[in-house]
Amino acid sequence: MAIGGEPDEAHPDPKIKAAVGLTKTFVQDHHALGDADFKALGDIFTEKEIAALCAFMAFMAAAHKFGVIMNVLPESEPDAGGLSGQSDEHLSGQKTV
């Protein structure tokens, strides 16, 4: 299992392998997804599972874009002058970073 890097391409579970493939295409070029991709997913997933997977991908993409707009960085990255690492004392009276 890959942790903190590229996902395993050779995962033994066909659902995980298909979800990773869909997510990779979505991230690289969401316009490349077409009817054939969703037909193939329909052979493995239920419609509810496909909807949940797509909703999760859309939520994560939006969360990432929001973080970029707000200039919020993960703790492991150096502060680029955004909200990351700044205290919220002035908002709540308690220091949160």
Per-residue pLDDT 10s for the chain (97 aa) are 556 677 666 778 999 999 999 999 998 998 999 999 999 999 999 999 999 999 999 999 999 899 989 988 777 655 544 444 444 444 444 444 4
Do the Cβ atoms of 20 and 11 come closer than 8 Å?
yes
Closest CA to 72 of 62, 82, 86: 82
Closest CA to 32 of 21, 43, 42: 21
What's the pLDDT score for residue 56?
95
What's the pLDDT score for residue 14?
92
